[in-house]
Homo-oligomer: A and B are copies of this chain.
Amino acid sequence: MTAFEAQDPDFERRVRESFARQRVMETMGATLLRVTPGEVEIALPFRAELTQQHGFLHAGVVTTIVDSACGYAALSLMPPGAGVLTIEFKLNLMAPAAGERMIARGRVTKPGRTINVCAGDVFAEQNGREKLVATMLATVMTIHNRPGVTD
């Protein structure tokens, strides 16, 4: 992995403030852990209220945290004033989302002026061990100069 350099020295505060405006994160109980240039980590403790019919976290819930981890990884490398928008993603589900909590890690694999490619993984934590639950490949857009879409 290449190490990236942030264009905005204030990138961490900016990511944390935008995350704090995502009301779905509070509703689900997700928190923002680590923010470094090009990488972001989000945690979600298991909650039965977010499950599908077999008792695992719903794929859409898993998507929620890993999409935000990818988007904020991209935002961490954007210039001041820009906004972040997910264009599309693909998610592969590899194991049931069961365990004490989920950790989503998003990272930029190819930053660009407009188009950023990001990869993300979700791990289930149980008894101090991590198991890979899902993996995402996402396309994230940098929005320049559009009022209402600034992060």
Compute how far the CA of A60 lies from the CA of B88 in the bound complex, rounded to whole angstroms: 11
Q: How near does chain B come to A35, taking the closest CB pair, in angstroms?
A: 15
Residue tally, chain A, CB below 8 Å to B: 53
Q: How near does chain B come to A142, taking the closest CB pair, in angstroms?
A: 11
B23, B52, B88, B94: the one contacting A50 at CB < 8 Å is B23
Q: Which residues in chain A, 28-74, are within 8 Å of chain B measured between CB atoms?
A: 48-54, 57-65, 67-68
**Can you name 20 A-B residue pairings with CB atoms under 8 Å?**
A19-B53, A22-B53, A23-B50, A24-B51, A52-B68, A58-B68, A59-B86, A60-B64, A63-B64, A63-B67, A63-B91, A86-B93, A87-B93, A88-B88, A88-B90, A88-B91, A90-B90, A92-B110, A94-B110, A137-B137
Asked if B60 contacts A18 (CB within 8 A), the reply is: no
